[in-house]
Amino acid sequence: MGTTIYQKLEKHSRIVIIQDSIFNSVFHSQVITPLQLYAEKNPKHHIVIISFEKQSIPYEKQVEYIPKSFTFIQLTKKPFMGLWSLSYSISALKKTLSSFARYTIMARGPIAGYVAVRAQTQNCQQITIQARGLLAEEYGYTNNNNQNLLFKLWHKARQKLYYILERKTYSLATENVTFEAVSPALKKYLIDTYNTFPHNITIAHNDIPPSFSHEKKALWHKKIRQKLNINKDTYVYCYNGSAKSWQCPHDILEFFAEKLRKNPKVVLLILSQDTEIFLTLLQQYHISDRYYRVVHVSHDQIFWYLAAADAGLLFREPHIINWISRPTKVLEYRAMQLKIIHNDTVAYLVDEPRHTFSLQQESCDHC
């Protein structure tokens, strides 16, 4: 007889609370994979994902994203208009948490963290709030190009509300609340800006994928190169990501075009869901289809394709949100022991130069 939901509720529960949807591109790598590893180490614990979603997710979609052994609970996500607007979320979460006997919480981001702290019941043993970026800065960056004065004022006011939320969340000083930053640069920012207690904040490490064995990488390397018709003596530069402007797709193509002018035995492998955009850009840069492969692959095959590469490219615009980040792509490149070429805009790469090279260091063709 299988475990009933009532038996599960009596177990110790590991609850993850998210606000950015299970459809977020990093959900599998940054939420599901770490939880699966946690479940292997703690087989008697019950894994629960509580997601605030704008729209109800049909069951058939849920089973695509959530392992069968996990419990998935979706709550309605309301627009953020300040701390008062989180009252509904706090109430709904508190009602949900009241069903669990003993539990710990991992809350992803300041909104989830604030709601979790306000909604916790007496059965909560620990809350960890994971800082993955800077919500207020990200909002301001996304909305800074609007030319309409009224919209500018609106976005400025809303950005200030996000600052208030972050200050309230990251300055919490209760006994059972700790913080986890995804990078040392973000930890420093939170301490300097929001007066987070240094002893109360650690660096995330459970969501970093382990390195793959040389044998497994060699097998995937050969298989994918054959599939993509790439010679074994060709040097492969890989870009894994989208075509959003802050990810500098034009810089990626300019970099590769320069390498191609110096050495014809190179190929650019682009792993992206924005295939049509990249194909258009490649034509604009007059790069022949002999020298590139553009592929959209599922998350469970990403490492296979990365194994076919020699170097991973990661360029970002100079901005605080990029400086304090820990891009998922960097973790994936490192898991495959790829050389990482970057443009000095991410502290995680600048301060930890293992197998990383800035553009200034890239003075040879494929060293």
pLDDT in tens, 47-60: 999 999 999 999 99
Token readout for 31 is 């939420």
User: Does 268 have pLDDT greater than 90?
Assistant: yes
pLDDT score for 149? 80
For the chain, list the domains and their CATH numbers. Answer: 5-203 (3.40.50.2000), 214-358 (3.40.50.2000)
Token readout for 133 is 């970026």
User: Does 257 have pLDDT greater than 60?
Assistant: yes
pLDDT score for 179? 96
User: Does 365 have pLDDT greater than 50?
Assistant: no
CA angle 72, 75, 76 (to 5 degrees): 145
Nearby residues of 228 by Cβ (< 8 Å), 6 or more positions away: 269, 293, 295, 308
Percent of the chain topping pLDDT 90:
75
User: Does 137 have pLDDT greater than 80?
Assistant: yes
Which pTM value belongs to this model?
0.87
Token readout for 69 is 């052994």
Structure confidence by residue, pLDDT tens digits, 327-358: 999 999 999 999 999 999 999 999 876 667 77
User: Does 359 have pLDDT greater than 70?
Assistant: no
Residues 187-196 have a mean pLDDT of 94
Q: What is the CA radius of gyration of the chain?
A: 22
Residues 296-314 have a mean pLDDT of 93
Residues 238-253 have a mean pLDDT of 91
User: Does 152 have pLDDT greater than 90?
Assistant: no
User: Does 299 have pLDDT greater than 90?
Assistant: no
pLDDT score for 361? 64
Residues 89-116 have a mean pLDDT of 96
pLDDT score for 212? 87
pLDDT score for 217? 93
pLDDT score for 6? 43
β-strands 292-295, 102-108 pairing:
unpaired
Which residue shows structure tokens 């990501």? 241
Residues 155-167 have a mean pLDDT of 94
pLDDT score for 1? 33
For residue 288, the tally of other CB atoms under 10 A from its CB is 10
Residues 108-134 have a mean pLDDT of 95
Percent of the chain topping pLDDT 70:
93
Comparing CA positions, the residue from 357, 300, 361, 309 lying closest to residue 333 is 309
Average pLDDT of the chain is 90
Residues 317-335 have a mean pLDDT of 93
Structure confidence by residue, pLDDT tens digits, 57-102: 999 999 989 999 999 999 999 999 999 999 999 999 999 999 998 9
The answer to whether 87 and 80 are in contact (CB under 8 A) is no
